[in-house]
Amino acid sequence: MAQPFRLSRGGRIDRTRPVRFTFNGRTVEGFHGDSVASALLANGIHLVGRSFKYHRPRGILSHGPDEPSALLSVDRGPGRIDPNNRASVVEARDGLKTLSQNHWPSLEHDIGAVNDLLSPVFVAGFYYKTFMWPRKFWDKVYEPFIRAAAGLGKAPAVADPDRYANRHAHCDVLVVGAGPAGLSAALAAARTGKRVILADEGPEPGGALLHDVTAEIDGRPAAEWLSATLAELDSRENVILLPRTTAFGYYNHNHVALAERVTDHLPSPGTAPRERLWQVRAGEVVLAGGSHERPLVFADNDRPGILLAESVRVFVNRYGVAPGRRIVFATSGASAYAAALDAKAAGLAVTLVDLRTESECGPELARLKAAGVEVLTGHTVIGAKGTKRVTGLIVAPVDRAGRCGAHRVLECDCVGMSGGWTPAVHLFSQSRGKLAYDERLDAFLPGTSAQAERSAGASKGTYDLAACLQEGFAAGAAAAGSDERKSFTASPTLTGFKPVRAMPTDADPTKVRAFVDFQNDVTAKDIKLAVREGFHSIEHVKRYTTTGMATDQGKTSNMNALGIVAGQLDKTLPGVGTTTFRPPYTPVTFGTLVGPARHALFDPIRTTPIHEWAEEHGALFENVALWRRAWYFPKSGEDLHAAVARECEAVRKGVGIFDASTLGKIEVVGPDAAEFMNRIYVNPWLKLEVGRCRYGLMLKEDGYILDDGVVARIAPDCFHVTTTTGGAPRVLAHMEDYLQTEWPDLKVFLTSTTEQWAVIALQGPKARAVIAPLVDGIDLSPEAFPHMAMRQGTICGVPTRLFRVSFTGELGFEINVPSDHARAVWEAIWEAGQQHGITPYGTETMHVLRAEKGYIIIGQETDGTVTPDDVGLAGMIAKAKKDFVGKRSLARPDVVATGRKQLVGLVTDDPKLVLDEGAQIVDDPAQPIPMRMLGHVTSSYWSPNCGRSIAMALVADGRALQGGPLHVTTPEGFARVTVVDPVFFDPKGERIHA
Amino acid sequence: MLEALYRTARALPLGRAPASDPARSGIVIQPAGAEARFALRVRDAGASAAGLPLDGPINSVRGNDRRWIARLGPDEWLIGSDESEADHLPSAIAADLGERAHSIVDVSHRNVGIDVSGPLAAVALNAGCPLDLGDAAFPPGSATRTLLGKAEIVLIRHPGGAPRYRVECWRSFATYVHALLAEAAIGAGSTEQAVRR
């Protein structure tokens, strides 16, 4: 295509570098430097989408991030397709495929446009009013319908193949926005030598200077000043200049989040990340994000070809594109005159309609007239003609009382409208700064700051170029701790506007479709209706009408909506207030927020030194906290039950080997170590001999069990503490907390040794025989090395802390060796065990074996509300101790009262029935509903060694119910069970001492 | 003799992986070899023990690649040394500390070291570490406990002009930390880009 609307000269595009992309399958040509919007306009394409609710034809309204209408689906290749991209900010490049949205069967012919004819039905709050009843229609009819109708575009269907990066950065001064104020601020800050980050959302820094072809700064063209300024910033080591980077979130302590779009504009990104999240911690922030132009509200103001006036100027000057050949500017302020002057200079036919009377206008009027442009002052816009493209603007003179005179149609193919300007106070508001309404500027401006930031330029309501430069410079210098000031001379900017909420009209106001919020299809009439129906708070109006929602968050519409609400209520604007600005400023991809935290980098997956061995031997794994533990080792054809049955039997009859490396370990060292242990645990520790172990039980202050584990005394002043796998971090934190805050006088030091020691558990009657040939320096005989003892020596030449302990009820050892030697030792034991039929087992078998012995597991038999007595461990408590953590709570009335749930064993009448863990327990299943629940099943397994199912449960006063029947819920009904002692195997505990 | 034998056989979780520069951007990531580490805790430490200075400021490291001591808190140090020193260093420290209550715990197998060097090393580290790693805030000779993504690490900046960092993490986090650093090196972008940043 020949780009019929490309101007023959001008613009910052590179005419030597053509680019080709497609729009709805049709090839569109543009130049390097074009946005998708400017390239479409260069080819005369205005109709680019259908509106959300009424499916009205929509075009391109704006040139920037505030674009509400031109939302495209952009396809950058397989897996790289995402919806709702603003055509105004997507850079045109070779190979892009862009698609319009929200229509069927085609953009030109859209069935959904029938909604527009039905618009009298779809009034504000339509959904709330219509889908109320009948109630039962909600799930099957209404919700599916609303879901299908809601949202624009299609979600991507395959995983995102792109890479996303994260970067934390610190600077003294962060400047947001590289327009005149931001550049000037960055310059001032950079010259102090402080670290400066300057971020701008555009592909090229410069802001409004990129399209101001007539202004001069300090006697030279603005473009020259811009390149000189950029060159200086670029040459400074202390400046990071980030184009294509949007500051989208302003959080506490000057933590500002920026989204950098790294590769979307490149035809081949290579391995570089698509986007990068910058988490900047800035000493000071300068906000120079500019302002947004307001549309005028008149009938059919949403027709394709109707743009914001400044956007017309941008397309003409920056992109060398004529959005139309006959342009009517409609305005209530001065800035549109600059656009009209530039369009006229570009050779386009121009007319300007100004709501203001001649006397309300400034010098802009004479300038435009001198350029030979027809100017109609004191005129309102009654409406637009045309459907898929504007063909004319109906205007009429209007008097002070708002009475309209004779209509006149100005034929045109493009309209540039301007209802004034709204400073972008989004980030300031996010920083929790208070906004202040300025009546002169008809705008909310940054008022009281809550953080170390300051605004400059248009975002502060300063629109004059020289003033922006001066204000920016002062702000940048002040942010960098300097009081330097600089004065600039620049061409005066045409500023000032007369606020108008909706253009005066002589049409029936109930019939006029004058859009306030283009993205959400909210008209002035909708807002008035909402107010009449009692929604007086702007936050309520927003939610009821949806004005100001979705991807543009009302950047163009908010002030008009507020003004209409205020007018209806006869209140001032600040009396109505403004809606809350929340992050993100513009839409941010999920990828940017997620960054590299995907797949293997989503969470650390902790594995033990034995992990690869277990993998090689066919283990399946389960997650325990961040650890991945061997769950069971199926042989071919075995399921979980068969494998566990075999593993359980092997341990009881021969010997099993188990990786217990994940157990938490803490080295407690110091002259007061025993005293510390005495205070932290319920057990007595002072008299524990060196070389002996004790099962320790630890409570929180509330008297409930926190953790447990075997502890060995290595030396008079040194204990080797073990904790549960998942409890290791919280136990260490709990201990440190007490040590640092309650008992700083104790001379004790804690060091985590969880990962220093790998633990190989060898359990079963043949365990001793297996390790005997490998161990040096330790007498393994039962007399010299009884149960619950610890000896130090070597195994396979590796130093070991050898524990004789058991979580299975069998003779057993837990062999602690330094982690880097664990696999070698494990394999040596494996070899030595072959003649004894050594069997590797996993966590599932470990669970069954301990349940057969009635040993509790923290988090299974306990849930943070269980006392030692509840689980039958009151005997562990040292009666003579004056105090320990949780002691006082054990005397609480509710803890000593009867009726507490106690740990018991349950056996089902049907020995084959394995109860569900968590199943509720009742006394009499025939009682009326709601039944009284007595407790629940905490552990339940098939026990190969008992030849039947076994279960543990917490039951109210359970120990007194021994021998009696209870009933447990099952998916089918109730199962009858008998309460027993929770030790199902070897109740006398003889095997452990073998 | 046995001691010496078993040490040579240490199976390090990252193996003896060679230095890598995943993005060819000059960010070199190299898992450290088998080293000795000790967690030293002592109050009112005095000036030094076994030749290791104990009077450096908190968050500083002293020594050289073969023997270093990082002060992580008022009464906490992490010591790194060649394996050959591992057997006698604890007793030498203990002897010098005398009657002062202290704790020296061997954490050689708990800790895994990864060296990150090159002009852009800090850029890669800042992918997961929120600290200010600029020369003023984290000059050569700095050491601190911090985060790298979701893993706790000790970050040491070796003395000297060229940016050289040691990341110390726990054994089971080493795979994650190493992979995150490699990803960070790629995410840092091309040399040209990242230098400008």
Compare all CA atoms of chain A with the CA of B136 and give the residue at the minimum distance.
A195
pLDDT band at residue B196 using 50, 70 and 90 as cut-offs? very low
Residues 616-655 of A with CB under 8 A from B: 626-627
- Whether residue B197 is predicted with pLDDT greater than 50 in this model: the reply is no
pLDDT recorded at residue A660: 98
pLDDT recorded at residue A123: 72
HSE-up of residue A257 (Cα within 13 Å, Cβ side): 23
Q: Is the ipTM of this complex over 0.90?
A: yes
pLDDT recorded at residue A953: 98
Residues 51-90 of B with CB under 8 A from A: 75
- Percent of chain A predicted with pLDDT > 70: 99
Residue type for position B111: N
Place of tokens 């365990």: A767
Distance CA A622, CA A627 (A): 8
pLDDT recorded at residue A553: 85
pLDDT band at residue B191 using 50, 70 and 90 as cut-offs? very low
Find the helix packing angle between A524-532 and A538-545, rounded to 10°: 120
**Per-residue pLDDT reduced to its tens digit, A774-811:** 999 999 999 999 999 999 999 999 999 999 999 999 99
Residue of B165, B172, B131 lying closest to B148 (CA atoms): B131
Cis bond upstream, residue A944 (ω within 30): no
Distances (CA, A) of A274 to A201, A473, B127: 15, 33, 15
Residue of A702, A707, A663 lying closest to A681 (CA atoms): A707
**Per-residue pLDDT reduced to its tens digit, A967-976:** 999 999 999 9
CA distance A279 to chain B (A): 8
Distance CA A876, CA A883 (A): 14
CA distance B153 to chain A (A): 13
CA distance B108 to chain A (A): 7
Report yes or no: A153 and A83 within 8 Å, Cβ to Cβ: yes
Domains of chain A, first to last = 1-161 (3.10.20.440), 164-291+423-479 (3.50.50.60), 295-419 (3.50.50.60), 508-585 (1.10.10), 625-661+756-852 (3.30.1360.120), 663-753 (3.30.70.1400), 898-993 (2.40.30.110)
Cis bond upstream, residue A65 (ω within 30): no
Structure tokens at B41: 């805790």
pLDDT band at residue B25 using 50, 70 and 90 as cut-offs? confident
Residue A992's CB is within 10 A of a number of other CB atoms, namely 18
Instruction: Output the CA torsion sign for B60, B64, B69, B70.
Output: positive
Report yes or no: A380 and A358 within 8 Å, Cβ to Cβ: no
Ramachandran assignment for A539, one of left (phi > 0), alpha (psi -120 to 50 degrees), beta (any other):
alpha
Distance CA A824, CA B6 (A): 10
* A744-764 mean pLDDT: 98
Across the interface, whether the CB atoms of A749 and B103 are under 8 A apart is answered yes
Across the interface, whether the CB atoms of B13 and A627 are under 8 A apart is answered no
- Whether residue B2 is predicted with pLDDT greater than 50 in this model: the reply is no
Distance CA A897, CA A242 (A): 67
- Whether residue A141 is predicted with pLDDT greater than 90 in this model: the reply is no
Residue type for position A628: R
HSE-up of residue B178 (Cα within 13 Å, Cβ side): 24
Return the minimum-mean-pLDDT range out of A100-109, A504-513, A880-889, A903-912.
A100-109
**Per-residue pLDDT reduced to its tens digit, A350-406:** 999 999 999 999 999 999 999 999 999 999 999 999 999 999 999 999 999 999 999
- Whether residue A469 is predicted with pLDDT greater than 70 in this model: the reply is yes
Return the minimum-mean-pLDDT range out of A119-128, A236-245, A729-738, A767-776.
A119-128
Q: Does B98 touch chain A (CB under 8 A)?
A: no
- Whether residue A1 is predicted with pLDDT greater than 70 in this model: the reply is no
HSE-up of residue B166 (Cα within 13 Å, Cβ side): 27
* A194-203 mean pLDDT: 97
- Whether residue A189 is predicted with pLDDT greater than 70 in this model: the reply is yes
B180 closest CB neighbour out of A281, A596, A626: A596
Instruction: Output the CA torsion sign for A775, A777, A782, A786.
Output: negative
Q: Which comes out higher in pLDDT, residue A2 or A426?
A: A426
Structure tokens at B45: 């430490």
Judging contacts by C-beta atoms under 8 Å, the chain A residues touching residue B109 are 755-757, 818-821
Report yes or no: A648 and A942 within 8 Å, Cβ to Cβ: no
* B145-171 mean pLDDT: 96
**Per-residue pLDDT reduced to its tens digit, A5-14:** 999 999 999 9
**Per-residue pLDDT reduced to its tens digit, A277-332:** 999 999 999 999 999 999 999 999 999 999 999 999 999 999 999 999 999 999 99
Average pLDDT, chain A: 95
Compare all CA atoms of chain B with the CA of A602 and give the residue at the minimum distance.
B150
Q: Does A756 touch chain B (CB under 8 A)?
A: yes
Distance CA A606, CA B96 (A): 38
Q: How many helices (H) and strands (E) does chain B have?
A: 5, 12
Distance CA A66, CA A60 (A): 11
* A40-52 mean pLDDT: 95
pLDDT recorded at residue A114: 81
A170 closest CB neighbour out of B134, B171, B173: B134
Cis bond upstream, residue A982 (ω within 30): no
pLDDT recorded at residue B9: 79
pLDDT recorded at residue A510: 81
Residue B111's CB is within 10 A of a number of other CB atoms, namely 23
- ∠ CA A934-A939-A944, nearest 5°, is 130
pLDDT recorded at residue B96: 96
Domains of chain B, first to last = 20-34+110-197 (3.30.1360.120), 36-107 (3.30.70.1520)
Report yes or no: A170 and A160 within 8 Å, Cβ to Cβ: no
The order of strands in the sheet holding B28-31 is B28-31, B111-117, B164-170, B151-157, B143-148
**Per-residue pLDDT reduced to its tens digit, A880-890:** 999 999 999 99
Compare all CA atoms of chain A with the CA of B108 and give the residue at the minimum distance.
A756
What is the CA A131 to chain-centroid distance, rounded? 32
- Whether residue B106 is predicted with pLDDT greater than 60 in this model: the reply is yes
Compare all CA atoms of chain B with the CA of A243 and give the residue at the minimum distance.
B197
Instruction: Output the CA torsion sign for A627, A633, A637, A642.
Output: negative
- Whether residue B141 is predicted with pLDDT greater than 50 in this model: the reply is yes
* B89-111 mean pLDDT: 97
pLDDT recorded at residue B192: 43
**Per-residue pLDDT reduced to its tens digit, A573-594:** 988 888 788 999 999 999 999 9
Return the minimum-mean-pLDDT range out of A96-110, A174-188, B91-105.
A96-110
Report yes or no: A72 and A101 within 8 Å, Cβ to Cβ: yes
Structure tokens at A203: 């592909």
* A405-419 mean pLDDT: 98
- Whether residue A458 is predicted with pLDDT greater than 60 in this model: the reply is yes
- Whether residue A149 is predicted with pLDDT greater than 70 in this model: the reply is no
Q: Which comes out higher in pLDDT, residue A65 or A553?
A: A65
pLDDT recorded at residue A696: 98
Find the helix packing angle between A524-532 and A558-569, rounded to 10°: 40
Cis bond upstream, residue A134 (ω within 30): yes
Distance CA B195, CA B197 (A): 5
Which residues on adjacent β-strands are paired with residue A380? A396
Measured between alpha carbons, how far apart are the two ends of chain B, in Å? 53
pLDDT band at residue A20 using 50, 70 and 90 as cut-offs? very high
Across the interface, whether the CB atoms of B39 and A751 are under 8 A apart is answered yes
pLDDT band at residue B4 using 50, 70 and 90 as cut-offs? very low
Distance CA A786, CA A492 (A): 95
Judging contacts by C-beta atoms under 8 Å, the chain B residues touching residue A195 are 134
The beta strand positions in A159-271, using DSSP E, are: 164-176, 196-199, 216-217, 220-221, 239-242, 245-251, 255-261
- Percent of chain A predicted with pLDDT > 90: 88
- Percent of chain B predicted with pLDDT > 70: 91
Could you tell me how many residues make up chain A? 994
Q: Does B176 touch chain A (CB under 8 A)?
A: yes
At A437, which helix (H) or strand (E)? strand A435-438
pLDDT band at residue B3 using 50, 70 and 90 as cut-offs? very low
Judging contacts by C-beta atoms under 8 Å, the chain A residues touching residue B134 are 170, 195
* A551-557 mean pLDDT: 87
Compare all CA atoms of chain B with the CA of A278 and give the residue at the minimum distance.
B127
Residues 648-667 of A with CB under 8 A from B: 667
Phi, psi of A191 (to 5 degrees): -70, -15
Distance CA A37, CA A724 (A): 60
Find which of B183, B192, B195 to mutate to test the A interface (most A CBs within 10 Å of its CB). B183
pLDDT recorded at residue B195: 41
Report yes or no: A712 and A693 within 8 Å, Cβ to Cβ: yes
Average pLDDT, chain B: 91
